[in-house]
Structure 1
Amino acid sequence: MLRLFMKEHAAFIVFQVVLVAFIMLLYWLDGFRNVDTAIYSFVISTVLVITFLSVRFARRYQYYQRILSAPQNLEHMLQREGKSPEQVQNEIYLQKLYRLYQHEVQSLYAAQNRYLQFMNQWVHQMKTPISVMHLLLQEEKELDKNSVREEMERLKAGLDTVLMNARLDTFEQDMQIEQLKLRSLVSEVVTENKRLFISKQVYPEISIGEEHLVATDQKWMKFIIGQFLTNAVKYTFEPNKKVFIAAECSKGNTLLTIRDEGIGISSSDLPRVTKAFFTGENGRKIGESTGMGLYLAKEICTKLGHELTISSVQGEGTTVSVLFFNQDFVTQEEHDDSSKNR
């Protein structure tokens, strides 16, 4: 501790020695040859310097004791034992740095915990289609290809969700924004889910003009729309219902809406449906919800710069809307002409 103190004040001690020697030299050059006065001046200066350093060391003793001891925990740095303005400011800075570090650690811990919880749920749910296919293979009668295909689709959807969740942390590295025809994008997703529509006897109705172009990422947007359509069909229990998909443009913004005629979402669950792992009343009814679909959709929309809103009336259906900001309302002819020019 004393060694640290001396290292910190070595320049000050050297300066004091040089200053006293310079004053003695001035006395000698001025013809003042009294040795007793010189010795007296030197002793007084030395005593004053030693007194100053002693008082300073006493004031900094607890501070040195803390920084030289082995910390027992991170909260050790939050102790306030500094006396000088520099020490106090340094401790304030360390406290701010600690809060920043604590916030980042908590964010990383929450992300890791969310990922582990999601993986545990996903693995548990993927056991069901695997078990079903295993039972189908054990049956002596001819293999039901439709049942196998349905279970394979469930596995594929689960794998897609896991991959999207894993890529969410490196979203910026896996994003490619381009001008896309909204109708073609929606139609492609509907076609990929046509077996789900047919099996549930729910039918899509697309009301999107060819003139609607949106700037977005095709892969991520297909995943989002797929989540909306899957939920719309999954929570529509009555046959011969429809899922209405429409788009409109206003003031350069394009609004995509997907409305179903399902069971809807209760008013108490609606504010929390985009939270991670929240299943709510509807999720408990079907028993297969991970609570991650709308959470991922919300996160992806935020990263893409789109606005996601959800409204619902229990017993009547749910409407999910995605607002694409600052989109150009371009006619098909203009889009074809611009493509030819490129």
Structure 2
Amino acid sequence: MKAIRLFLKDHLSFLVFQGFLVLFLLLLFWLDGFRSYDIFIYAMVMSILFTFGFLGGKFIMRRSFYAAIVQKPSRMEDALIQYAQGPEHQRIANYTRNLYKIYQDEAQSLYSSQSRQIEFMNHWVHQMKTPISVINLLVQEEEIDRQSVSEELDRLQAGLDTVLVNASLETFERDMTIEKINLQQLVQETITAHKRLLITNRIFPVLEIDETLIVATDRKWLKIVIGQFITNAVKYTFEKGKRIYLTGKLAEEGVRLSVRDEGIGIPTSDLGRITNAFFTGENGRLTGESTGMGLYIASEVCEKLGHPLTIESEMGVGTEVTLLFKNGEGGANVGATREVDRSDEDL
């Protein structure tokens, strides 16, 4: 009954039009003097029959549509119209299905994001227990080893920074400011920010970026990305005295920034998955400190900034990570090389 009422409301304007049409015919017969009452009655009856016959046939063809929309759905799938008749209702049914697909994609994205945040926080809390326990042991000693305490505090700080960066990814667009930046200066600032890590592990950066290279990007987020590359390079370079090469070159596509280390390299079986969230791989199990989020965050940031990221590696030789700035600019002396000295001051 609800479907019939809805159908009649939907066609109320049509019924009103038919009523005016009947009155118009009545006016014509009245002006003609009603010379033939039989024809008048026949015309009125046929007009009413055709009208209700048309509406009845239309309702029968579309009753599944009206029956579906008058029922209160108990789940999302119940709102999808399975058997729509007529072009308009078929278009509505397709629109509803597309809308439902968008809803599913957004719901799945929110669920994945929430699950990733929960899993990351659980993993991070478990990892932070180690430096806290070490600091507790160190402060109980008569003579506190300040160097060891500083290293553990650096681990805590790095963990906190990762949590904050991961949380900021959800509101990336609101925290992004694109500007023209001197690439050499930004990379040097990033190296300086990580100088204690480099000095402690006796890893020496080599800067090969021309001072005239300019790129359009977000300063804060790019420093986070480069810092992650440097951290990974140090973490997986077990021998002392190795180097990290940070190279900027002007290419046809734009400016290429490469960070190459002399570490242990990444196994070929892991290379295609290292940017997945929480993937640690064989190398991550060697150190026991990997969260599997560093390269994931870096790849997400690069994708949002529009900087294609490529990673190449060879076991026992090292790993090279390359960023492409498609809108980069450069000067004439691209490739000026400068090795950062091994002293604290130059780092």
Q: Is the 8 A contact 1:249 1:329 kept in 2?
A: yes
1:50-102 deviations in Å (ceiling 9; x for gaps): 33333333333332222111112111133323223222221122112211222
Decide whether the 8 Å contact of 2:273 with 2:279 is kept in 1: yes
The code of the aligned residue for 1:148 comes to V
CA–CA distance in 2 between the matches of 1:282 and 1:203?
Answer: 21
TM-score normalised per structure 1? 0.89
* Alpha-carbon shift at residue 104 of structure 1 (Å): 1.9
Identity of aligned residues (%): 52
The Cα shift of 1:209 comes to 3.4
Query: Does structure 1 conserve the Cα–Cα contact (< 8 Å) formed by 2:257 and 2:323?
Result: yes
The change in CA–CA distance for 1:160 and 1:48 in structure 2 (over 3 A counts) is same
Q: Secondary structure at the match of 1:31?
A: coil
Question: 1:287 maps to which residue?
Answer: 288
Name the residue aligned to 2:12.
10
Structure 2 unaligned segments of length 5 or more: list them. Answer: 334-347
Contact in 2 for aligned 1:80/1:88 (Cα 8 Å) = no
For residues 47 and 209 of structure 1, do their structure 2 counterparts lie closer, same or farther at Cα, with a shift above 3 Å needed? closer
Of stretches 55-64 and 233-242 in structure 1, the one that deviates more from structure 2 is 55-64
Corresponding position of 2:231: 230
Task: Tell me if the contact between 1:241 and 1:261 (Cα under 8 Å) persists in the aligned partners.
Answer: yes
Residues 298, 40 of structure 1: alpha-carbon distance in 2 compared, 3 angstrom cutoff? same
Q: Separation in 2 of the partners of 1:25 and 1:15? A: 15
Residue type of the partner of 1:325? K
The whole-number CA distance in structure 1 between the counterparts of 2:115 and 2:254 is: 37
Post-superposition offset of 1:6: 1.9
Q: Give the 3 Å change call, closer, same or farther, for CA 56–165 of structure 1 in structure 2.
A: same
- Secondary structure (helix, strand or coil) at the match of 1:311 reads strand
Residues 77 and 95 of structure 1 are in contact (CA less than 8 Å); yes or no, is this contact kept in structure 2? no
Choose 86-95 or 27-36, whichever is displaced more: 27-36
In the TM superposition, 1:25-44 aligns within 5 A as 25-44=27-46
What stretches of structure 1 of length at least 5 have no aligned partner? 333-342
1:175-214 counterparts in 2 under 5 A?
175-214=176-215
- Contact 1:214/1:327 (<8 A) preserved: yes
Q: Distance in 1 between matches of 2:192 and 2:5?
A: 77
Question: What secondary structure does 1:272 align onto?
Answer: coil
1:199, distance to aligned residue in structure 2 (A): 2.4
Residue 60 (structure 2) pairs with residue 49 (structure 1): no
Asked whether 1:323 is paired with 2:324, we answer: yes
Aligned ranges for residues 102-117 of structure 1 at < 5 Å?
A: 102-117=104-119
Matches within 5 A, 1:116-265: 116-139=118-141, 141-251=142-252, 253-265=254-266
Q: Report how many aligned residue pairs link the two structures.
A: 331
Distance 1:79 1:133, change over 3 A: same
RMSD of aligned C-alpha atoms?
A: 2.1
User: Per-residue deviation at 1:251?
Assistant: 4.2
Aligned to 2:21: 19
Amino acid at match of 1:91: A
- Normalising by structure 2, report the TM-score: 0.88
Alpha-carbon contact 2:34-2:40 (below 8 Å) kept: no
2:90 counterpart residue number = 88
Structure of greater relative contact order (alpha carbons < 8 Å, 6+ residues apart): 2
Alignment of 1:296-311 (within 5 A): 296-311=297-312
SS in 1 for 2:272: helix
Who is 2:344 aligned against? none
